[in-house]
């Protein structure tokens, strides 16, 4: 599904490169969240791909609605995974965004009979720049690893390890 409202990975990659350079030059924080719809392949199996596309669009709107700053960005990374860029945001701010996103999806009570509590949920990996020597790819890799850890620990949670 190509959602014209939610930018794609290419748009994220371009913006992330610019924001990373700014964060390095100006020595400010930058955070990334990887957000994945839990058990989405089962969702598609039960409800069909057309309904799955609607679910992705609804989740995208709810996630975007959880962002507060004009510079915050959400894009579709791949499949049922979204990436969130939070320029000039330390880990504590990124954690607050992850909590808002998780609650927004859970509280929407989107039906998923194979989901946690019978509803659609998300798992989130959170990472923030650790120092001047870190490279952009490392930040993305840590967010992705944290996402996979959150999923391995039961889903419907975030991890900032």
Consecutive sets of 10 residues in the chain, 161 residues long: mean pLDDT of each?
72 96 93 98 95 96 96 95 97 98 97 90 96 84 98 97 71
Nearest CA among 78, 96, 76 for reference residue 86:
96
Nearest CA among 21, 23, 40, 46 for reference residue 105:
40
Q: Rounded distance, CA 82 to CA 7, Å?
A: 10
Q: Rounded distance, CA 131 to CA 29, Å?
A: 9
The pLDDT, as a whole number, for residue 92 is 98
The pLDDT, as a whole number, for residue 1 is 46
The DSSP output letter for 111 is B
The pLDDT, as a whole number, for residue 33 is 99
Angle at 102 between CA 82 and CA 112, to 5 degrees: 85
Query: How far lies 95's CA from each of 18, 51, 98, 100, 108, in Å?
Result: 23, 30, 5, 9, 20
Strands of the 30-37 sheet, one edge to the other: 73-78, 81-87, 30-37, 122-128, 158-159
Spelled out in words, what is the top-level CATH class assigned to the domain 9-153?
A: alpha beta
Nearest CA among 45, 155, 50 for reference residue 105:
155
| N-terminal to C-terminal alpha carbon distance within the chain | 32
Within 14-110, strands assigned E span: 30-37, 73-78, 81-87
Q: Where are the domains of the chain?
A: 9-153
The pLDDT, as a whole number, for residue 132 is 66
């Amino acid at each position: 599904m190509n959602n014209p409202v939610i930018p794609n990975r290419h748009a994220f990659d371009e913006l992330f490169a610019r924001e990373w350079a700014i964060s390095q030059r100006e020595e400010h924080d930058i955070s990334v969240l990887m957000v994945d719809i839990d058990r989405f392949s089962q969702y598609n199996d039960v409800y069909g791909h057309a309904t799955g596309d609607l679910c992705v669009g609804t989740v995208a709107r709810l996630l975007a609605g959880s962002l507060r700053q004009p510079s915050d960005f959400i894009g579709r990374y791949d499949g049922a995974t979204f990436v969130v860029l939070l320029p000039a945001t330390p880990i504590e701010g990124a954690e607050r965004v992850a909590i808002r996103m998780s609650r927004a999806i859970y509280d929407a009570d989107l039906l998923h009979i194979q989901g946690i509590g019978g509803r659609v949920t998300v798992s989130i990996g959170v990472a923030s720049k650790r120092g001047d020597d870190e490279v952009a790819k490392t930040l993305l890799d840590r967010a992705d690893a944290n996402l996979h850890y959150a999923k391995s620990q039961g889903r419907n949670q975030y991890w900032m390890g």
